[in-house]
Amino acid sequence: IACLVMYFFAEFDDAANLLAANPDATTISIDEPVEIPKNQQNRLQEPGREEDDELLGTDDSDKTELLAGQKKSAPFWTFEYYQTFFDVDTYQVLDRIKGSVFPVPGKNFVRLYIRSNPDLYGPFWICATLVFTIAVSGNLSNFFIHLGKPTYHYVPEFRKVSIAATTIYAYAWLVPLALWGFLMWRNSKVMNIVSYSFLEIVCVYGYSLFVYIPTAILWIIPQKVVRWVLVVFSLCLSGSVLVMTFWPAVRDDNRRIAVATVGTILLLHALLAVGCLAYFFDAPELDFPAPIIPAHNGTTVITKSH
């Protein structure tokens, strides 16, 4: 028991806090079967079971599978099975969103916030909000850019909503699927300390997309510099959440593969941001009140910034 305790102690940055809070907790957990507590959060004063679950559930991959199986014990064709994916309270969702927008360096989002209670509420509704935010903001931004031109007639561009929905939902579900498959494959070759279930990866991706929502709203501002600064800023924030989550899962692997994996994750994330900016938001023009300024020889008062 002491050896196991030392092993877990070495692996976790915040283990010291938890063990200091509840030194007896680990011994209890090893003897008895652990039942997953329903509402976990980042609170040190909760009784020992949550810390044990965090120590055992997210570090040891075997235990993760076992505990995950214990939790979702209803058969998959019943309604109760899917209810286990929505077992979150309002404050938990808000905490997870806060954790994705303000990533703490060194802290793993999954370990800190999700802790074996991945939910589908966050990913689904954040993606839905993002779809409509991008469509509405793009429409508004195009309206303001082209306002005042005599030939411009406003169109709602409703078709873009379905395109946005397809893109964002595909990204939020297919990329985690591919990543999970890849990590499982590498896990079979190289024993990794940290491994994630599919739902946890979906959860991380879903919550990491949250920072794009205020970014999309701010993209209405029709200045190229502002937009690209926003892209870089939001990419740093959400990218760092993803990197800090997945680096521990691949760092024990071959160096090149680890770097390539993390690089691909970041590249796809950047592609999503840049692609949305390019497709939904027309390029702003350099001179705004173009129709008012009398044009010399009719030539370029308006310069297209392409």
Partner 1 sequence: FPGLADVSISQDIPVEGEITVPVGSHSPDEDCSTLDEPVKDTIMRDLKAVGKKFVHVMYPRKSSALLRDWDLWGPLVLCVSLALMLQGGSADSKDDGGPQFAEVFVIIWFGAVVITLNSKLLGGTISFFQSLCVLGYCVLPLTVAMLVCRLVLLAGAGTVSFIIRLIVVGAMFGWSTLASTAFLADSQPPNRKALVVYPIFLFYFVISWMILTFTPQ
Using the minimum distance from each CB to partner 1, give the nearer residue, 67 or 213: 213
- Residue 245 Cβ, how far from partner 1 at the closest point, in Å? 24
What does the alpha-carbon distance between residue 50 and residue 89 come to, in Å, rounded to a whole number? 16
Residue 37, exposed/middle/buried by CB under 10 A (0-12, 13-18, 19+)?
Answer: middle
281: left (phi over 0), alpha (psi -120 to 50) or beta: beta
List residues binding partner 1 (CB under 8 A). 79, 82-83, 85-86, 88-91, 93, 121, 125, 128-129, 132, 136, 139, 153-159, 162
Question: Could you tell me which of 215, 202, 259, 266 has the C-alpha nearest to residue 240?
Answer: 266
Residue 257, exposed/middle/buried by CB under 10 A (0-12, 13-18, 19+)?
Answer: middle
Using the minimum distance from each CB to partner 1, give the nearer residue, 153 or 256: 153
- Residue 7 Cβ, how far from partner 1 at the closest point, in Å? 36
Using the minimum distance from each CB to partner 1, give the nearer residue, 136 or 217: 136
- Residue 157 Cβ, how far from partner 1 at the closest point, in Å? 5
- Residue 167 Cβ, how far from partner 1 at the closest point, in Å? 16
What does the alpha-carbon distance between residue 293 and residue 301 come to, in Å, rounded to a whole number? 8
- Residue 163 Cβ, how far from partner 1 at the closest point, in Å? 10
* Contact residues for 80 (Cβ-Cβ < 8 A; gap 6+): 74
Using the minimum distance from each CB to partner 1, give the nearer residue, 14 or 87: 87
What does the alpha-carbon distance between residue 299 and residue 228 come to, in Å, rounded to a whole number? 28
Q: Rounded to the nearest 5 degrees, what angle is found at the Cα of 68, between the Cα atoms of 67 and 71?
A: 85
- Residue 146 Cβ, how far from partner 1 at the closest point, in Å? 13
Using the minimum distance from each CB to partner 1, give the nearer residue, 9 or 132: 132
Using the minimum distance from each CB to partner 1, give the nearer residue, 68 or 120: 120
What does the alpha-carbon distance between residue 203 and residue 117 come to, in Å, rounded to a whole number? 10
